[in-house]
Amino acid sequence: MRIESIPISKLLFLIAVAQLLGRPPMSSAEQQPASQSPASKLKSLSLEELGNVEVTTFSKESEDIWNTPAAVFVLTKDDIHRSGATTIPELLRLVPGVSVARSQSGAWSIGIRGFASGFSKGLLVLIDGRSVYTPLFEGVYWDIQDVVLSDIERIEVIRGSGGTIWGANAVNGVINIITKKAADTLGGFADVSAGGTITRFVGQVRYGMGLGTGTYLRMFAKGFNRGAEDNPLGDPYDDWHQARGGFRLDMQRTQRDSLMVSSMVYGGKTGDQNTIGEFYPPSQLVVDGEQSVSGGDILVRWDHSTPAQSNFYLQGYFDRTNRATSQFTETRNAIDLDFIDHLTTLPHQEVTLGAGLRESPSHLIQTQATVNFAPNRINNYVYSLFFQDSIRIVPDRLTLTLGSKFVDDKYSGWGTQPSAEILWRPATMTSLWASVARALRTPGRLDRDLSLLGNIAASGPNGPIFLQVEGNPQFVPEVLIGWNAGMRQLFPHELYVDIAAFHNQHDDLESYGGPAQLFTFPTNPYPYEQINIQFGNGLRGVSDGLEIAPDWKLFHWMELRGSYSHVHVALHSRPGYSQESYASSVEGSSPHREALAQAIFTLPHSVQLDADYRFVSALPANDVPSYQTANASAIYRLGEHVELRASGRNLLQPRHQETLGANSNQVSIKREAFGGLNWSW
């Protein structure tokens, strides 16, 4: 092509490239004080030495963030390293709009934009492309989701319905945990945290090596032992310990093809407590029982790119989970295949096509007469297809994205989830976006197959009273139509502000079905009463809210971040239902206001100090008052290989309650401090 024949529009763009000002947002690059010149030191090195200089890398994805028409937040490896957190849920507390409430040592209620509960539904959580939600309750067992935290490259969180591009269940948001490539974790690394009342011991070790051209392997192992939180009844039942190990192999076969194989196995115990109903006295039994958890997965992913034409990936994985509770034992397998192709052959368009197939057969063994999921053997499959077209109406200024996802699952048949997004970048450091999407939360086994008998009163006029909760074979998917808008702006002096607002219309939300029916069983010798109730799609309503997240790099040694999230949920009964109390329990189970302030110091002499403060409003439905607390951590680097750190968590009071614990215990989260050390070689 001759230069003269290049169209004017391209020339205009190229001028725009020249105008790209300053550094990428959120990057840690270029934090050198202007006075000294690190470049002059680097210049004196030979080429070989230059290749051995450890650098602070900037996130290549930062450019992608500006072009995302959704409320997105990225927790970088640096954020993770500095946070002092030792679990994934504790890391998620740093993400605006994500509510994290610890209900006991190893259990959290995590929700995005309201709708948090221990069984939070409608949240897609991916670890290296592997979806970890369980169709048992359409949620995530957080106690088994873990990796070596220092091997995480980044955690991307999208708030709102990411229904189109991502897998099923992404109604309220997507949490995407991406680990480092094996090539980025060469050599040995060992890390220990110990000394806390909860964090008694966390040890992790990793070794990475090259295996010939373009092939790298990382092996890792991790184990932890955590103590119980504070139970006012004085019964510390929630000890939590676990061990896991695995590997990741990356092969860059050609410039175009790369292959990734990863695998992990784990096992452990999560302390738990349940009340089990019995027909004979004393009618209810409080059982402290550890849940035995174990499982493993293996994932293979092939990435292929043809420059300027397409890049696709094909991945398949097998994931097995076993969980034995005091009420049932479940063994679940998931076999999952996904294919996604980005086509860039058309001018000013990027077409994405994808297909996914997931078979998830499970076997449930009933160990208590009062809890069952019938049938005991079932295959919860999900098939999905999607397409999306991003049209660059004005290149690098205005992009319209249209797409739809089609999902078929065991219970509800094919459903359509269309979406439309528009992104406008009036200037390089400004982006404005808006979107509308329809998303479906497919039914889970809990909604359809549950049969639970619980004792709600040990004695009544006609004997003890039991509540029989039944799944509903007619339960249909919950529907969300989400309207979203937001903006990102980098102001002078490195002040970055991200604002997102939403209006969600919910329909067919889960509640109880028809009115409760009371039966009296005068059977001798133990007469009892039973209230029967069934799940139903009895609620609809709206939720509105916004999140504001500023990030200000004040000086090269000091950064301030904050976020404020507000959500207002207003639900009411659908025609034919009377579920106002269920509605207010959903409305009142997640905080309506949360605020976070973080101060991040990078001081001379390799000292890093981080502190954060948060306020979380009350949960009236759970009788939990509002609280504020703070975390702090300090890291000190001793030369090239050793790093020391100290962490204090929940510092503002000896204990505070965040949500209801298992068995409705008012478990409080304790203050703790612990130390840590890591060594790399």
By CB under 8 A, the residues from 635 to 654 that bind another protein are 636-640, 644, 646, 648, 651
30 binds another protein (CB under 8 A): yes
Residues 361-400 that bind another protein (CB under 8 A): 395-396
Q: Identify residues 533-552 at the interface with another protein (CB under 8 A).
A: none
Tokens of 450: 């549950």
Residue with tokens 């690394």: 189
Amino acid symbol at 669: I
Candidate ranges 185-193, 290-298, 480-488, 621-629; the one touching another protein (CB under 8 A): 185-193
Q: Interaction with another protein in 287-306: which residues (CB under 8 A)?
A: 305
Work out how close the CB of 349 gets to another protein at its nearest, in angstroms, rounded to a whole number. Answer: 13
Closest approach, Cβ 255 to another protein, in A, equals 5
Residue 592 burial (C-beta neighbours within 10 Å; 0-12, 13-18, 19+): buried
Please, which residues bridge with residue 377 across strands? 363
Contact between 423 and 401 under an 8 Å Cβ cutoff? The reply is: yes
Residue 185 or 579: which CB sits closer to another protein? 185
DSSP character string of 415-478 = EEEEEEEEEEEEETTEEEEEEEEEEEE---HHHHHEEEEEEEES--BTB-EEEEEE--TT---E
Q: Are 561 and 548 in contact (CB under 8 A)?
A: no
Residue 82 or 441: which CB sits closer to another protein?
82
**Which of the ranges 12-20, 169-177, 222-230, 565-573 carries the binding residues for another protein, by CB under 8 A?**
12-20
Residue 203 to residue 676: CA distance in whole angstroms:
10
β-strand 173-179 against 240-252: which pairing, if any? Answer: unpaired
Report in angstroms the alpha-carbon separations of 365 from 322, 443, 447: 11, 21, 18
Work out how close the CB of 534 gets to another protein at its nearest, in angstroms, rounded to a whole number: 51
Can you tell me the distance from the alpha carbon of 454 to that of 276, in angstroms, rounded to the nearest whole number?
7
Tokens 């009062």 correspond to: 370
Which residues 255-284 are close enough to bind another protein by CB under 8 A? 255-256
Rounded to an integer, what is the distance from CA 404 to the centroid of its chain? 23
Give the nearer residue to another protein in terms of CB position, either 377 or 605: 605
53 counts as binding another protein under rule CB under 8 A: yes
Going by their DSSP bridges, the two strands 291-306 and 257-270 should be labelled as antiparallel
Residue 187 contacts another protein per CB under 8 A: yes
383, two tokens: 């098939």
**Minimum CB distance to another protein smaller for 27 or for 666:** 27
Question: CB-wise, 67 or 523, nearer to another protein?
Answer: 67
* Smallest separation, CB 549 to another protein (Å): 23
Question: Following DSSP, what letter does each residue of 300-324 receive, concatenated?
Answer: EEEEEEETTTEEEEEEEEEEEEEEE
Strand partners, 621: none
Q: Which residue, 461 or 640, is less far from another protein as judged by CB? A: 640
Task: In angstroms, give the least distance from the CB of 614 to another protein.
Answer: 16
Binds another protein by CB under 8 A, chosen from 47, 280, 492, 576: 47
Beta bridge mates, 122: none
* 607 forms part of the interface with another protein (CB under 8 A): yes
8, 51, 522, 525: which one binds another protein (CB under 8 A): 51
Q: Based on CB atoms, which residue is closest to another protein, 267 or 675? A: 675
- Reduce the secondary structure of 601-648 to three states and give it as a string: EEECCCEEEEEEEEEECCEHHHCECCEEEEEEEEEEEECCCEEEEEEE
Q: How far is the CB of 399 from another protein (least distance, A)?
A: 13
Stretch that binds another protein, among 86-94, 184-192, 515-523, 566-574 (CB under 8 A): 184-192
Among 17, 35, 234, 347, binds another protein (CB under 8 A): 17
Asked if 634 interacts with another protein (CB under 8 A), we say yes
Q: Which 210-229 residues touch another protein, going by CB under 8 A?
A: 213
Q: Does 680 bind another protein (CB under 8 A)?
A: no
Q: Which of 598, 539, 542 is nearest to 573 (CA)?
A: 539
Of 182-190, 262-270, 398-406, 455-463, which segment contacts another protein by CB under 8 A?
Answer: 182-190
* 112 part of the interface to another protein, by CB under 8 A: no
- Residue 307 CB, shortest distance to another protein, in Å, is 5
One of 308, 493, 522, 524 touching another protein (CB under 8 A): 308
8 contributes a contact to another protein by CB under 8 A: no
Amino acid identity, position 37: S
Binding mask 393-432 for another protein (x = CB under 8 A): --xx------------------------------------
CB of 229 to another protein, least distance (A): 19
463 CB-near residues (< 8 Å, 6+ apart): 521, 526, 527, 528, 529
Q: Are 620 and 605 in contact (CB under 8 A)?
A: no
Q: Which of 296, 297, 300 is nearest to 261 (CA)?
A: 300
* C-alpha pair distances (Å), 566 with each of 312, 486, 547, 599, 626: 38, 14, 6, 22, 14
Q: Does 10 bind another protein (CB under 8 A)?
A: yes
Q: Is 618 exposed, middle or buried (0-12, 13-18, 19+ CB in 10 A)?
A: middle
DSSP state for residue 134 in the 8-state scheme: B
Judged by CB under 8 A, which of 56, 309, 345, 416 binds another protein? 56
Nearer to another protein, 52 or 524 (CB): 52
Q: Does 35 bind another protein (CB under 8 A)?
A: no
Least distance between another protein and beta carbon 41 (Å): 8
Q: Of 28 and 455, which has the nearer Cβ to another protein?
A: 28
Q: Which of residues 587-606 bind another protein (CB under 8 A)?
A: 602, 604-606
Show contacts with another protein in window 652-671 (CB under 8 A).
none
Binding flag, residue 32, another protein (CB under 8 A): yes
Q: Report the residue number, 186 or 221, with the smaller CB distance to another protein.
A: 186
One of 42, 346, 457, 518 touching another protein (CB under 8 A): 42
CA angle (80, 245, 317) in 5-degree steps: 90
CB of 221 to another protein, least distance (A): 20
